[in-house]
Amino acid sequence: MLPIPKPAAFPLPYTDDFEGYEPESLPRYTQDQAGVFEVQPWGRGKALKQVVPSLGIEWPFHLNSEPVTIIGDPQMTDYEVSIDALLVAPYQSASVYGRIAKVIQHQIQPPMSYWLRVEADGNWTLGKNEDLLLLNRIEIDKVWPALKYSFSDHTRNARIFPYEEWVRLDKSILDALPGVREFLAKDMDPKTLNLGVHFDGTFYFFRDHILGRGKAEFKTGAWNTLKLRCEGTRISGFINGRMVGEFMDDKYPRGLAGFGCGRHPAWFDNLSIRGISK
């Protein structure tokens, strides 16, 4: 029996081309949070494929975010993570994450982190996600019975209302949510808020933080490289070797890396995580 290895930091630089695994196996170190990322034959070699084709039945307290797998060390600070992605349809998307601090069980949004997301048409977004706001609970049978019956198919245990929808809700519903009126009266940017309501009556607000967007050259049906670079407070996104966006932010000084896609199959290859020397 081999001895249990001593605790150690995640080894950087780290690369994986997924060639050394049996088909349908999971790569070392990756931790799937939603979806399933498994090794599959690709051409004359192998690549990683997200194989869950659509939204599945949710656990009561673990909502289905878009597919994402995480890897690395929570103490990683300055590094760049890159992954090759292949999308085959216009509606598909791929993402790369940096400095993941937390995966929120009650939230459908991406993990608390920085991220670069690109659609198959080349439209990209740089952003970050933060913790839930105003987490509370109601007796949904009494306060919002019509909403509870919308969960009857069991594939979605929460409803997300963006600003354009929750702002049009009946005044009596918003008034019945404890603390909401006081919270909204103090919030300086309500148009970036989303309201989430869980089937058990848990409700919360969370905010969209879009820090940059644009369009880049991205080829459907071919491999494209996504890279996110985190160096101090400077967060930079790259697509196919060209920097598409950059912003300054100090919310997350350290955290894990990750990558993912929309709720559809997608291919990934040539994962790389490299530290940045100071």
Q: Enumerate the domain spans of the chain.
A: 14-131+210-275, 133-207
* Mean pLDDT (the chain, rounded): 91
Query: Could you say which of 2.60.120.560, 2.60.120.510, 1.10.260.40, 2.30.38.10 is the CATH number of the domain covering 14-131+210-275?
Result: 2.60.120.560
Rounding to the nearest 10 degrees, give the CA dihedral for residues 103, 109, 112, 113. 120
In contact, 36 and 50? CB cutoff 8 Å: yes
Q: Are the beta carbons of 114 and 230 closer than 8 angstroms?
A: yes
Instruction: Name the residue type at position 246.
Output: E
Is the Cβ–Cβ distance between 230 and 84 less than 8 Å? no
Whether the CB-CB separation of 265 and 49 falls below 8 Å is answered with yes
Q: Can you tell me the mean pLDDT for 225-231?
A: 98
In this prediction, residue 56 carries a pLDDT of 73
Does the structure show a pLDDT above 80 at 107? no
Q: Taking the complete model, does pTM exceed 0.85, yes or no? A: yes
Q: Where are the alpha helices (DSSP H) in the chain?
A: 140-143, 145-148, 163-166, 171-176, 180-186
Q: Write the pLDDT tens digit of every residue in 127-181.
A: 998 878 898 999 988 888 888 777 766 666 778 899 999 999 988 888 899 999 9
Both tokens of residue 22?
A: 């049996």
Distance CA 210, CA 117 (A): 11
